[in-house]
Amino acid sequence: MRSAPTILHLDMDAFYASVEQASKPSLRGKAVIVGGLGPRGVVATASYEARVLGVHSAMPMSQARRLAPNAAYLMPRFALYRSISDQVMALLRALSPLVEPLSLDEAFVDLEAGGTAWDERSARLVGAKLRADIRAVTGLTGSVGLAASKMLAKIASEQAKPDGLVVIEPGTERAMLEPMPVRTLPGVGPATGDHLRRAGIHTVGEIAEAGEDELVRLLGKAHGHALYAMALARDDRPVVAERETKSVSVEDTYDVDIHDRVRVGLEVQRLADRCVRRLRGAGLSGRTIVLKVRRYDFSTLTRSETLRGPTDDPAVVREAAARLLDSVDTTGGVRLLGVGVSGLADYTQEDLFAQAAGGAGEEVAEGEESEPAPEARPEVPEERRWTAGHDVRHTAYGHGWVQGSGLGRVTVRFETPGSAPGRVKTFRVDDPALEAADPLPLVEAPPALPEPMGPPEMLPPPPRPLEA
């Protein structure tokens, strides 16, 4: 562990919900919950106003509605979240070449590697400027933790929430950690926490007091050693600039269990096609096809098949997924299906039919054609799918967002990120004046500076720096 707090951890505050509040003036200061809105949807992010009511990420949406019946419930807008994340990550990469993104809204930065911080004072200045830059560029807030290790920097950013900055100075780590609950340490989830509690261990200090041997006895060798080191504030993990993608996958949860075996098969093939589109979008291919099935009783099964070589061919992935489905009993009903590809590479296997046949243990006759892809489920045209929270434009009223729809009507609030809370109008779902729209930027771009006049030699010289 280094001797200065030059590892920075950034965590954007309630990211998805904060984006929605920033883009919708009528929701600012109110409970906002983003996630799947179906009966089996889960909360992706809750605003701080919703968290006060007991709503949190990964909670079933049905439970969230009981706790916060008057909150705004919105579907995610991932394209917008990714574009804002790109802006934030660009600010981080301006600080150091060593930036390790953990998700769209979270990352580690090694400030020492970028030469932007070398002691407590310089690190604090960088953290303060970063928070100001994020607000100026995106209109959002982020919490920053600074410490001498990744583990401590993440703990510091949690303490800084929301919209704060916390620096853990070297030499103070043990005293800070000792009174904290065991769940503070990474890797200590509900099960491990309960196991430690039953052994009379409630705080990080008590983990250290228990000793390494006792922790190995309780938790096993690997977990016991790691937990003891963390309790002593030992963490030498480096910031890794590029986290290798290990798999690409897609999945769907269904509002009503699927019992029809033919429908299950069609859903798996549709998911296979979606997975391949994502795979190709990343310029990757893979050797191992994975099928995930969650049944009516919440039991989850995974099946996998490894091909002779990497592929990004949809027919090959569909065939492999179909073979895997053959080994799964779906008699009682299916509530979730997923298809993934792992063993990734940046090239594809040329002999696609050969590898598909090899995986199936059959030969394909020369010239034989694979079956065409099944048709996807018929979808309502995008402009007529009025999704709660998504953007629309009306020829007379301008830009707005969908508050809700049903019974042949859609309700829209007309407002923009820079406006006052807007008025609400209701239309028929087939109103020709209403159409889907792209999200507006949260912060207006500053006006471009005028071009300098005249040739460079005629321009005044830049001001000289002040003497020290």
Query: Residue 465, preceding bond cis, omega within 30 degrees?
Result: no
Amino acid at 173: E
| Contact by Cβ (8 Å): 239, 113 | yes
Amino acid at 94: A
Torsion sign, CA atoms 407, 380, 277, 361? positive
Q: What are phi and psi of 254, to 5 degrees?
A: -105, 140
Distance from C-alpha of 176 to C-alpha of 195, rounded to nearest angstrom: 23
Distance from C-alpha of 95 to C-alpha of 110, rounded to nearest angstrom: 8
| Contact by Cβ (8 Å): 210, 233 | no
| Contact by Cβ (8 Å): 45, 75 | no
Paired tokens of 378: 């018929």
Catalytic residue status for 106: yes
Paired tokens of 61: 């949406």
Which of the following is catalytic: 49, 106, 319, 415?
Answer: 106
333 contact partners, CB below 8 Å, separation of at least 6? 257, 258, 259, 295, 296
| Contact by Cβ (8 Å): 71, 39 | no
What is Dmax (Cα atoms) for the chain? 82
Report CA Rg, the chain: 26
The end-to-end CA distance of the chain, in Å, is 34
Distance from C-alpha of 17 to C-alpha of 30, rounded to nearest angstrom: 10
| Contact by Cβ (8 Å): 324, 291 | yes
Q: Which residues pair with 302 in a beta bridge?
A: 292
Q: Which residues pair with 293 in a beta bridge?
A: 301, 337
Looking at the annotation, which residues are catalytic?
A: 106
